[in-house]
Chain A
Amino acid sequence: DVQLVESGGGLAQPGGSLRLSCAASGFTFSSYSMNWVRQAPGKGLEWVSKISSSSTTIYYADSVKGRFTISRDKAKNSLFLQMNSLRDEDTAVYYCARESGSYSGIDYWGQGALVAVSS
Chain B
Amino acid sequence: QSVLTQPPSASGTPGQRVTISCSGSSSNIGSNAVNWYQQFPGTAPKLLIYNNYQRPSGVPDRFSGSKSGTSASLAISGLQSDDEADYSCAAWDDSLNGYVFGTETKVTVL
List chain A positions with a Cβ less than 8 A from chain B: 35, 37, 44-47, 50, 59-63, 95, 100, 103-112
Residues of B within 8 A of A59 (CB): 97-98
B44 and A35 contacting across the interface, CB-CB below 8 Å:
no
Q: How many residues of B contact A (CB 8 A)?
A: 27
List chain B positions with a Cβ less than 8 A from chain A: 1-2, 32-33, 35, 37, 43-47, 50-51, 56, 88, 90-92, 96-104
B45 partner, pick from A62, A63, A100, A109, beta carbons under 8 A = A109
B99 and A106 contacting across the interface, CB-CB below 8 Å:
yes
Residues of A within 8 A of B33 (CB): 103-105
**Chain A: minimal CB distance from B5 (Å):** 11
Q: Other CB < 8 Å A-B pairs besides A104-B32, A106-B99, A112-B44, 6 of them?
A: A45-B104, A47-B99, A50-B99, A61-B1, A95-B45, A105-B92
A105 partner, pick from B51, B96, B97, B98, beta carbons under 8 A = B51
B90 and A105 contacting across the interface, CB-CB below 8 Å:
yes
Residues of A within 8 A of B91 (CB): 104-105
Residues of A within 8 A of B46 (CB): 109
Complex A-B: 27 CB contacts under 8 Å: A37-B99, A44-B101, A44-B104, A45-B37, A45-B90, A45-B104, A46-B2, A47-B98, A47-B99, A47-B100, A60-B98, A61-B1, A95-B44, A95-B45, A104-B32, A104-B33, A104-B91, A104-B92, A105-B35, A105-B50, A105-B51, A105-B90, A105-B91, A106-B99, A107-B50, A109-B46, A110-B44
Which B residue's beta carbon lies closest to that of A59?
A: B97
A107 partner, pick from B47, B97, B101, beta carbons under 8 A = B47
Residues of A within 8 A of B96 (CB): 61-62
Residues of B within 8 A of A110 (CB): 44
Q: Which of A35, A44, A61 has the largest number of chain B CB atoms within 10 A?
A: A44
